[in-house]
Homo-oligomer: A and B are copies of this chain.
Amino acid sequence: MKTRLSLLALASILCGSLSAAEDNPPADDWKPAPSNQVGKQYPQVNSEGRVKFRIVAPKAQIVGVSFRDSSPFTKDADGAWTGYTRPLDEGFHYYTINIDGADVPDPNSHYFYGAGRWGSAVEVPAKDADFYALKNVPHGQLREIQYWAKSSNTNRHAFVYTPPDYDKDTTKRYPVLYLQHGAGEDETGWGRQGYAGLIMDNLIAEGKAKPFVIAMEFGGNPFAGGQRRTNAAPADAGATNAAAGPGGRGGFGSGFNFSAFEKVLIDDFLPYVDANFRTIADQSHRAMAGLSMGGMQTRMITLAHPDTFSHIGVFSGGSIAVTNITDMAMFKKKVKLVFVSYGSRELGGDRPARGGDPKANTEALKAAGINAQFYVSPDTAHEWLSWRRSLHEFAPLVFRN
């Protein structure tokens, strides 16, 4: 009887664990992720938003991925390890493969600058991905530029998006949006994983946004010391050569003190852009926006320079309260738009948003007579799908008046 009970108990445990696994087998509709390198079949994404990885590592003891709550990785007869994540939100996620204790990029993915390094990321296709899809519409250009910044005495590296017709009529001038990345990211972010160019190309083709120039600089890495990203003198520049990859030049590690970036932006980059692109170089045709740290910079810099910027976008980076505005009459006259956004999963919970409730702050601005807008990206967290959508909502609202 005892043996029988034990066997039953054992069977129950076995069946239990068996059914625990089989109750929720991942949906078997895996497709290669859009963020894969050309020709790579992995990572794959299924309809639940799970991501499956495949890493050939025949002699490894243990392989894993940096997403929490992932399945264990198992090795097949060919030495290939596979494992998959929990269902992830739609959108863009940085990750690292771990092989016997080594954190390395996935050899199958494209590489992006984020989390302070060039490394892997995976795109879980969004239902609304059409707004940043590559279509047969007129395209703008993403221009990689190098310029000499007097305030920092360094070469600096930036990107400028010019809209589709920019080179057609060389008498036409355009407004400019200064658009900033987040902490641990750099000037490549908006043009690459942010799809800023394709978002604008599609909006312009649909007649939903006016064409404007977008200027993207490096806003610093608050997690790095002063040594990092600080360029050598030009004579040594072979070692920090532009083409060796974006992200190594003319930066500053400055914590969350943005004064060095403010100086470069206002004293160097802005005059460079006005001198080298056909901009309408006045306050009413100049916007600034940014995500996360870039939103904090936008808030700080636009409030300090009301004569420079007329349109303000803060994406997942706080909000502007009525009490932040020292001269409301002047602000009402000069500022044509305050746009604040978050991913829905960033709101609520027990971590209050930086600088107070962003919706309430925005409503209060509206009540004070400011053109203020609040947007929430559905079912996304602190990641690029929230920010692509934020740009997509923000762009049609700027330079309308």
Contacts and interface: CB of A to CB of B under 8 A. Distances in A.
A262 B184 CA distance: 42
Contact of A105 (B104, B193, B238): B104
A241 B126 CA distance: 13
A191 B57 CA distance: 33
A360 interface: no
A57 B167 contact: no
B60 A245 contact: no
B57 A99 contact: yes
Contact of A57 (B101, B111, B241): B101
Given A107-B117, A134-B249, A241 B61 contact: no
B123 A244 contact: yes
A198 B243 CA distance: 8
A14 interface: no
Contacts of A119: 107
A155 B134 contact: yes
A294 B86 CA distance: 45
Nearest to A119: B107
A88 B389 CA distance: 48
Contacts of A100: 57-61, 99-100
Most chain B C-beta atoms within 10 Å of own C-beta, residue among A102, A111, A197: A102
A296 to B, nearest CB: 22
Interface stretch (A16-24, A221-229, A307-315, A346-354): A221-229
Given A38-B229, A105-B105, A134 B242 contact: yes
A37 interface: yes
Contacts of A195: 241, 243
B133 A194 contact: no
A34 B144 contact: no
B167 A101 contact: no
Interface residues of A, number: 83
A86 B273 CA distance: 47
Given A39-B229, A60-B102, A142-B144, A134 B198 contact: no
A161 to B, nearest CB: 10
Most chain B C-beta atoms within 10 Å of own C-beta, residue among A112, A146, A244, A278: A244
A162 to B, nearest CB: 8
A68 B338 CA distance: 59
B132 A238 contact: yes
Interface string A47-79: 000000001111111110000000000000001
Contact of A143 (B99, B142, B234): B142
A215 interface: no
Contacts of A34: 238-241, 244
A210 interface: no
Given A39-B228, A110-B245, A241-B34, A134 B146 contact: yes
Nearest to A194: B243
A377 to B, nearest CB: 17
Contacts of A196: 243
A139 interface: yes
A181 to B, nearest CB: 13
A256 interface: no
Interface in A130-175: 130, 132-136, 139, 141-148, 155, 167, 170
Given A57-B100, A105-B107, A146-B201, 5 more contacts: A112-B245, A133-B237, A134-B237, A135-B237, A143-B144
16 contacts: A37-B248, A38-B229, A39-B228, A60-B99, A61-B61, A133-B241, A134-B240, A135-B237, A136-B155, A139-B147, A142-B143, A142-B144, A146-B201, A195-B241, A198-B241, A198-B242
Q: 7 smallest A-B Cβ distances: which pairs?
A: A57-B102, A110-B245, A134-B237, A170-B170, A58-B101, A129-B238, A59-B101
